[in-house]
Amino acid sequence: CKDINRQLLQLLLAEMRLLLIALVALSSIKTAWSVNCSIESFEYAPGTPEEFCLLNGLKTDVAAAGDKQTDPSVTRVAIVEPSLKRLTAAFYERFPRLEHLVVRDSDLEQLHIAGNVRIIDASGNKIKSVTVQGGGALRELNLRNNPIRDITPISGLVGLTKLNLGDTLIAKEHAFEFNDLTRLTNLSELYLDGMDLYYLDNTRKKPLPNVRVLDLSRNSFTPSNFQLDLFRSMPKLEELLLRHCLFSDLTVHTEELRTNFPSLKKIYLEGNQLQCPIFSKLLDLLKEKGIEPVEPEQPEECKQGFTLISQMCCVSFNAPVITEKTPPPTLPLTRLLSQNLLQVQRMLQLLRRQTRHRTRPQAVALRRRQQIGG
């Protein structure tokens, strides 16, 4: 009997262990279901994979009613193919230790920044507004290719070191005001490419003391209003990108080059329309001052009327560069008026002749009647 009881006890203990394991497993499954998360390798940047919590097809950032499960172990989250329009504070409550958030190429219209998140990549969405609750830990914010127009909330994120506003609608009347960012004293990388800018302003002349990389590519700056002394407010600027800005002229005074750019090391100039003599002298001047005009990895394909210098195209003749089909030539106004006047005179002469031909038989008949009556 004792042996039987011992065996029964062992079986009972084994069953209890299995039950305990099952309960733990169910608890883990419930947590996973509550956040709908799967840990997978995710390429958050080109050639840079990392383990992320992937949320596929997220419809709402709010947990289901009665389900307040969170996962404090998750620090990296990527939202893949979501259908949600807003990202609110409830999302950060589900991931209290979130540091890196990726939500790209979706219909997201409103972005909320909260908690201890340090990196947010929200590029390629439909974001029109950003709200901030705390956000002091945020270091990198990517809002590229969003229809956002107001960066007032962003200007308070004083911990930012990298800000990407490329291809947004931030510009007002084709101008960008650096004064809107002067509170971001830790900013080291700023991307303003493709914003349809004609002008740059810094009305209060306040510095951006730590900016090292500035990308202004793919903007159509007016050369006469592109004042280089504006860059004195960025004393640590090392890389300046001016690709495809359609510059046809760029005035650089030798004695002021290092005054305006005391720390500049590299400048990118491909895709502009500078005349070759000017472009060649500019390249020589930059090299003389210790600034590298970075050549593209592959030589540009030059159109007719352009010549290749240092892998970049420049205008090889003084004629204006034709970028679109030109309309047919028009005559000067004075010549056009004289031609019209000549046509009017000819028409009047023709009318007089026709009138004479019609009235001559009538005049002859009248004379005959007068002679008969006489």
**pLDDT tens sequence across 262-318:** 999 999 999 999 999 999 999 999 999 999 999 999 999 999 999 999 999 999 975
Confidence of residue 355 (pLDDT cuts 50, 70, 90): low
Q: Is the pLDDT of residue 326 over 80?
A: no
Confidence of residue 255 (pLDDT cuts 50, 70, 90): confident
* pLDDT value of residue 4: 63
Nearest-5° angle of CA 253, CA 257, CA 259? 120
Entry pTM: 0.75
How many residues are given for the chain? 374
Q: Is the pLDDT of residue 7 over 70?
A: no
Q: Which residue has the tokens 């056009």?
A: 336
Mean pLDDT value of segment 319-333: 46
One-letter amino acid of 152: T
Q: Is residue 56 within 8 Å of 84, Cβ to Cβ?
A: no
First to last CA, the chain: 173
Pure H helices in the chain:
2-35, 89-94, 257-260, 276-288, 333-373
- Per residue in 136-176, pLDDT (tens digit) is 999 999 999 999 999 999 999 999 999 999 999 999 999 99
* pLDDT value of residue 362: 52
* pLDDT value of residue 216: 98
* pLDDT value of residue 222: 87
Phi, psi of 250 (to 5 degrees): -155, 110
Q: Is residue 115 within 8 Å of 138, Cβ to Cβ?
A: no
- Quick one: fold of 30-170? 3.80.10
Mean pLDDT value of segment 95-121: 96
Q: Is residue 103 within 8 Å of 122, Cβ to Cβ?
A: yes
* pLDDT value of residue 332: 45
| Longest CA pairwise span in the chain (Å) | 173
Q: Is residue 122 within 8 Å of 100, Cβ to Cβ?
A: no
Q: Is the pLDDT of residue 186 over 80?
A: yes
Q: Is the pLDDT of residue 342 over 70?
A: no
Percentage of residues of the chain with pLDDT beyond 90 = 61
Question: Which residues lie across from 41 on neighbouring strands?
Answer: 51
Residue extents of the structural domains in the chain: 30-170
* pLDDT value of residue 339: 46
Mean pLDDT value of segment 182-211: 95
Confidence of residue 1 (pLDDT cuts 50, 70, 90): low
Give the whole-angstrom CA distance, residue 259 versus residue 261.
Answer: 6
